[in-house]
Structure 1
Amino acid sequence: MPHAVSRLRAARLARSSKPFLARGGPRGERCAGCRLVPSHCICALHPVVPTRAGVCLLMADIEPLKPSNTGWLIADVVPDTFAFGWARTLVDPALLTLLADPQWQPYVVFPGEFVTPERVVTEVQTSVAPTGSVVKRPLFVLLDATWPEARKMFRKSPYLDRFPVLSLHPEQLSRYKLRRSRRDDHFCTSEVAGLCLDLAGETRAAQTLETYLDVFTHHYLQAKNQLPADLEGVAHQQLRSLIT
């Protein structure tokens, strides 16, 4: 069954007045399952890791159409991944229903420097509170867009204002190579999700997502340069060890 980002992509394509032409591959063919050119398909390495945490992707208009979008990888790995297109004047009722679902505690993931201090948190409640009572499942709301778009989305989404803002302070630098930010402390959506999962105690899912991104990036760049993928490379071996 297609996951949430795949369904959102199909819906976005259905609304397009002209076809979206992604570069790469003879006549632009890409695998429907992983968006890579068929010769570099990674569907056989598709990992799924059950998690208590969930991810809600708010995606800028054409993000679901981009082959380099890494929100797709999150939906591959994390079963409870939800995806919605963002628009300033329209809000999907299903998104509001999800955010109001009592099983979830939404955390809007965004830099704390842009938020009033009382909304900012740096930790995530685990499945058991200090008193022994069960707490809600964490739902990480990620703004999947370029940085300028994400700032606009954050400012113009008042339905998110009642939720805490999770501010990440990772020590490592971004390893994402497909779309380069001018700043090394800007992370791709998949990397952000991995950091959130780690905070939630979902270590295996975080490691799997990180390694899956490395494998995807390798295949993407090798295909772009018309080179074969190294199926015995370190990232491939690590991913196989995590999903077996």
Structure 2
Amino acid sequence: MPHAVSRLRSARLARSSKPFLARGGFKRERCVDCRLVPSHCMCTLRPSLTTRAGVCLLMADIEPLKPSNTGWLVADVVADTFAFGWTRTETDRDLLALLRDPQWQPYVVFPGQYAAPERVVRTVEPTNSLRDEAQQKRPLFIVLDGTWSEARKMFRRSPYLDRLPVLSLEPDRTSQYKLRRSGRTDHLCTSEVAALCMKLAGERVAEQTLEAYLAVFTHHYLHAKSQQPIVWDGFAHQQLHEVSHLPSRNILLL
């Protein structure tokens, strides 16, 4: 069954009057599930995890169409991933219902210096804490998926987010994302942000799986672009294989 980002992509394509052409990307046939050329498909490597923490991707208009988008990877890995397109004038009713769902404690993931101090938090209660899970709300991390300018616009112009706490991350390393150019090393890609959120929630396997899966996707994407064969026994694939065997609530390697 297609995940949330895949469904959002299909809906966005249905509204398009002309095909989307990724800037700087390769113009060959792509797998509909992993967005790579068939010779470099990684669908058989896709892990799926059941976690108590969830991710809500609020995506800029064409972000679901970009082959290099890593929100897609988050939806591959974290079963409870939700995805909504963002516009300034309309708000998806399903998004508002999700934010009101009593099982979730939503957090807007954004740098704390852009929010009122009383809204800013830097920790969340781990989902594996000793507190009774039946009484503990599940963390829902709202990640603004787009360019930095798009993310700032979404943060400023989404009044339904104003009442929610802002989770300000403190990464301990620079971004490893290599598929788009950025002038700032302190900006993380969506998958890296989700991994940090899972770490804060105590979802260690999800954190490590997202990190390893991003490395594998990067390897496949760049080797497809340069028309080089996949190194199946390389470091990235070994890491993904190792984390897929860590104990978890539920992990399935498709």
Q: Closer, same or farther in 2 for the Cα pair 1:128/1:177, shift >3 Å?
A: closer
1:125-173 deviations in Å (ceiling 9; x for gaps) = 2347787683200000000000001001100000001100000011111
Conserved? CA contact 1:129–1:135, under 8 Å: no
Task: Please name the residue that 1:39 is paired with.
Answer: 39
Q: Following the alignment from structure 2 to structure 1, what is the Cα–Cα distance between the partners of residues 128 and 214?
A: 30
Query: Structure 2 vs 1, CA of residues 137 and 131 (structure 1 numbering), >3 Å: closer, same or farther?
Result: closer
Asked if structure 2 preserves the Cα contact closer than 8 Å seen for 1:59 and 1:84, the reply is yes
- CA-based RMSD: 1.5
Matched to 1:212, the amino acid is: Y
Give the deviation of 1:212 after TM superposition.
0.2
Preserved CA contact (<8 Å) 1:208 1:242: yes
What's the counterpart of residue 237 of structure 2? 236
Q: Which moved more, 1:122-131 or 1:67-76?
A: 122-131
Deviation sequence 1:219-244 (CA, Å, 0-9, x none): 10111111111111111011112224
CA distance in 1, matches of 2:129, 2:242: 32
* Distance in 2, Cα, partners of 1:13 & 1:124: 36
Tell me the TM-score normalized by structure 1.
0.96
| Alignment coverage as a number of residue pairs | 243
1:4 aligns with 2:37: no
Identity of aligned residues (%): 70
Task: Give the corresponding residue for 2:214.
Answer: 213
SS of the residue corresponding to residue 238 of structure 1 reads helix
Distance in 2 of aligned mates of 1:53 and 1:170:
19
1:219-230 paired onto structure 2 within 5 Å: 219-230=220-231
In the TM superposition, 1:22-101 aligns within 5 A as 22=22, 24-25=25-26, 28-101=28-101
Residue 145 in structure 1 maps to residue 146 in structure 2: yes
Alignment TM-score, normalising by the size of structure 2:
0.92
What are the equivalent positions in structure 2 for 1:63-212 lying under 5 Å apart? 63-127=63-127, 134-212=135-213
Q: Deviations over 1:202-224 (max 9, x none)?
A: 00000000000000001101111
How far apart are the structure 2 equivalents of 1:131 and 1:223? Answer: 47
Unpaired runs of at least 5, structure 2: 246-254
Q: Is the 8 A contact 2:127 2:203 kept in 1?
A: no
Counterpart CA distance in 2 for 1:132 and 1:77 is 26
CA distance in 2: counterparts of 1:130 and 1:243, whole angstroms:
25
Helix, strand or coil for the counterpart of 1:57? strand
Partner of 1:17: 17
CA–CA separation in structure 2 for the residues paired with 1:132 and 1:96: 27
Report if aligned partners of 1:128, 1:135 keep a CA contact under 8 Å in 2. Answer: no
Task: Provide the rounded CA distance (Å) in 1 between the counterparts of 2:239 and 2:202.
Answer: 20
CA distances 1:112-133 after superposition (whole Å, capped 9, x unpaired): 0111100000001234778768
Structure 2 contact 55–81 (Cα < 8 Å) conserved: yes
Decide whether the 8 Å contact of 1:21 with 1:28 is kept in 2.
no
